[in-house]
Amino acid sequence: MGWKMSVNNVRDMIDLDRYPVDRLDSEEGQVFLESCREKLIEDGAVVLNGFLKPWAVDKVIADVEAKLEDTFYCSNEHNAYLIDDDPAYPEDHPRNRKVYSDKGILASDQISKDNLLRQVYDWEEVRRFIALLMGSEMVYPFADPLASVNVNINDEGRQLGWHYDNAKFVTTMMLRPAEVGGVYEYVPWTRSEENQNFEELGKILDGESDRVKELKQGVGAFVLFKGKYTVHRVTPVEGDPRLVAILSYAPEPGKMLTEETRRLFYGRTE
């Protein structure tokens, strides 16, 4: 018998004693929300360790592991901006310099309809929490059939090279850290709209920056990360795979990926 959607089920799987996302209008909720805002302003990231309870994480992983044979793997060289090179700069300039990424992904249509991740993703209280952190009225589920709830699989040797995100923010759920490696490294607020800060980016790409930090995430951690202005990477994994759920939201209803993006990320367009 499938796991049926209900608010009570969602409440059971999230540690609401520590993280009162269901009562943000209360005094307790306001204090919690303000502390998250301060972390986001200071560091570009909010990490809520143990947000998803251990039993719920186990259920999610069991479902994901049953689908691992369907994983789509992609590897490519890219610059930190994940866009075409700028011919105004030489090939070895930080703007154009190449790094390497290699990952596996399960698309939304490969995640079971009764997977607990979907209940967290769809819960209005979680979406309202994210929206308030981002200064919006509400965020909305992706309408794209492949992109709303994904799981990234980084197994032996796989990594993500240094890059900026194109999205305003990314929300993730740590399901299983890597046995060795798989470290999420980042440099808070590396660039701004006014200054690309190529000098610092060059130091980071050369392994010479003293600003690199590690984003520590335990099992069940909920993370909201503003990667558009913060360059980041995941170091190569050794041993058991690193499993991370990606929960994608949009500022307005009906958000879809382009066919080109679907083909790049999932190896197909539908």
Taking only the tens place, the pLDDT of each residue in 27-58 is 999 999 999 999 999 999 999 999 999 999 99
Residue 197 belongs to some domain of the structure: yes
Residue spans of alpha helices (H) in the chain? 7-13, 27-43, 54-65, 116-122, 124-133, 198-205, 259-266
pLDDT reported for residue 9: 86
Residue 19 belongs to some domain of the structure: yes
Residue 23 belongs to some domain of the structure: yes
Which CATH number characterizes residue 192's domain?
A: 2.60.120.620
Residue 1 belongs to some domain of the structure: no
pLDDT band at 149 (very low <50, low <70, confident <90, very high): very high
Q: Tens digit of pLDDT for each residue in 101-145?
A: 999 999 999 998 889 999 999 999 999 999 999 988 899 999 999
This prediction has a pTM of: 0.91
Residue 159 belongs to some domain of the structure: yes
Structural domains of the chain, count: 1
Q: Which range, of 130-134, 197-201, 261-265, averages the lowest pLDDT?
A: 261-265
Give percent of the chain with pLDDT exceeding 70. Answer: 97
Residue 206 CB burial class (10 angstroms; 0-12, 13-18, ≥19): exposed
Q: Is the pLDDT of residue 8 over 80?
A: no
pLDDT reported for residue 4: 44
Q: Which domain holds residue 170?
A: 7-266
Residue 2 belongs to some domain of the structure: no
